[in-house]
């Protein structure tokens, strides 16, 4: 999805690890939206214990709502990373609980990243860790007790934003309750379901 000229943030990937179940990417969602002066990435999962059809529908509902919300931002604000972050979380918070699967979003894990020419920011819900850097070489972006990390579930309000000076090539989110272990060096993208 693109709304105007794409900003120069193409080298960054925001991914979420798959689970250890028979269907490790059940309920996974991922989208990227470029506006005239900014870019938003969303990665997450929900409805992880649902029937595959229900999980697919819940993930597509979140992706669709976020894309529609970003598209609805007035043109004068499309280059503002904060407007993109607010729009994305506002869309997730506005969805009816039933649209989020049988658990009504109580199992949501999501990472939302936005960048504009003046900076970058990210916010999250339902993550136990966030790794950043090159793969191999990923390192924790924040300590285990950082407020960015929280139990799974749709938040009650728009989460706070962590500001970054520069986006790393890869942000790898670890969903709350991930059975571990973390992927071997060089295997992070594959463990998150990204194809080369």
The residues spanned by each domain of the chain are: 13-191
Q: Compute the C-alpha angle 44/25/113, nearest 5°.
A: 20
CATH topology of domain 13-191: Phosphatase 2c; domain 1 (3.60.40)
Separation CA 92–CA 18 (nearest Å)? 21
138 phi and psi, to 5 degrees? -65, 140
> In this predicted structure, what is the pLDDT of residue 23?
85
pLDDT along the chain (196 residues), means of 10: 44 84 89 91 95 97 97 86 96 97 97 94 96 93 95 95 91 91 90 83
pTM to 2 decimal places: 0.92
Residue 190, both tokens: 């594959």
> In this predicted structure, what is the pLDDT of residue 11?
60
């Amino acid at each position: 999805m693109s709304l105007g000229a794409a900003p120069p943030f193409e080298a960054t990937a925001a991914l979420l690890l798959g689970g250890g179940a028979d269907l490790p990417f059940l309920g996974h969602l991922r989208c990227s939206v470029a506006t005239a002066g900014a870019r938003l990435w969303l990665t997450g999962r929900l409805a992880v214990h649902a029937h595959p059809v229900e999980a697919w529908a819940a993930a597509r509902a979140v992706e669709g709502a976020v894309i529609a919300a970003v598209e609805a931002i007035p043109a004068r604000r499309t280059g503002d990373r904060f407007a993109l972050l607010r729009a994305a979380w506002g869309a997730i918070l506005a969805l009816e609980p039933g649209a989020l699967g049988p658990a009504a979003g109580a199992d949501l894990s999501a990472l939302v990243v936005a960048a504009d020419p003046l900076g970058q920011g990210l916010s999250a819900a339902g993550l136990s860790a966030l790794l950043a850097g090159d793969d191999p070489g990923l390192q924790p972006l924040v300590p285990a007790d950082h407020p960015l990390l929280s139990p799974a579930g749709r938040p009650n309000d728009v989460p706070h934003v962590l500001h970054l000076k520069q986006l790393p090539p890869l942000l790898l989110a670890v969903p709350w309750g991930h059975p571990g272990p973390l992927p071997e060096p060089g295997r992070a993208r594959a463990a998150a379901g990204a194809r080369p």
